[in-house]
Structure 1
Amino acid sequence: MTADVSIPDYDDLDAVARARWDEQIARHGRVTHMKRTLLHAVPAFDALMTWYPLFDAVKAVVGERAALFFAHAISAANHCLICDTFFVKILRDRGLDPANLVYDATEDLLVRFGRALVADGGRVPDALLGEVKASFGEADLVLLTGFASLMIATNLINTALRVPLDEYLYAYTAVRSE
């Protein structure tokens, strides 16, 4: 798969984009192909990098494992090669088999909710939406949906722009989920 949009190198970027690159290196040790692609448009990069504080907020509500399962379910349902493979790597690195995950009740609810947010244009069945609201309350329902929308947006960037898989993820493609 070739990128429809070039993946700029550091020297190709303006000063503002280079500052964002430097911040990514400091925080995460690398700048992925998706992030490099987004650096063509710093406002788009900035918007999608709010994924990190939203993910932290979701983890604070449901725990890290459930948050990972939620994000993975969304990316797998969206058939996003990069994001799905990224979460497969994280799960495998934690000793979990992405093809044979066993969920507790909260994780199962979040996985079903994540998949439903992707299916049918985001029209979540009333019963499922009610179950999530009853389990988490309105504020956390909004938080979970907001995070999911940003996860879906990252999936869309990667898929629509045909961003190539980062080399560090190659070893994890054979174990991708459904």
Structure 2
Amino acid sequence: MARPYMNKIARRQMLLDTASGIVDEYGWNTLSMISLAEHGGVSRQLVYQNFDSINTLTEQTASYMFEELYTETQDILRKHSDDIVVAITKAQHVLFSFPEGRVQALWALLADNTSHNTPFSAVSRRYRKLISDLYTPMISRTMNIDTQHAGQVAWLLMMSFWGGQQLIHDKTISKTKSLELIQWYIERLVAGCKASKA
């Protein structure tokens, strides 16, 4: 039976959905032009028409997977710009709403520590900066620190955020406990900053 016709945009969407599904289930190392063709039920030629190399495929799949998390986090920070504890707690709830495979794939992307010369590490650094930049203004304002320092603190906070998710994955703590701990951690960090400035 022939596949129904898809226009270029719908076909690309289908390929990115399929690529994301591969990464969610098997990890980044299994994503390839061949695996995408096989899982998508399309020819390799069609895959190459949409992605000229594995680097392009990896980068665009990462962008596709990251976009929802980024957009929802951005919206939360805009709505709760005056309360860093509420903002980060709500952002963690967004992460909890994702399937486990997606969470692990995003964690692998953000926590990549391979050679700086690989395309994957370049994508990883770009998204680490995007996330840090999201939180930097709020941290700078809340903790009364300069932008550079706030950007560094932002990433340290995000590592705590994702570390809590890893503890959940390892079944060391519950989601509820993770939320309690991150809230406790941020409250004390903010209080310490305010005390040191007094």
Structure 1-normalised TM-score? 0.32
TM-score by length of 2: 0.30
Query: Which one has the bigger helix percentage?
Result: 2
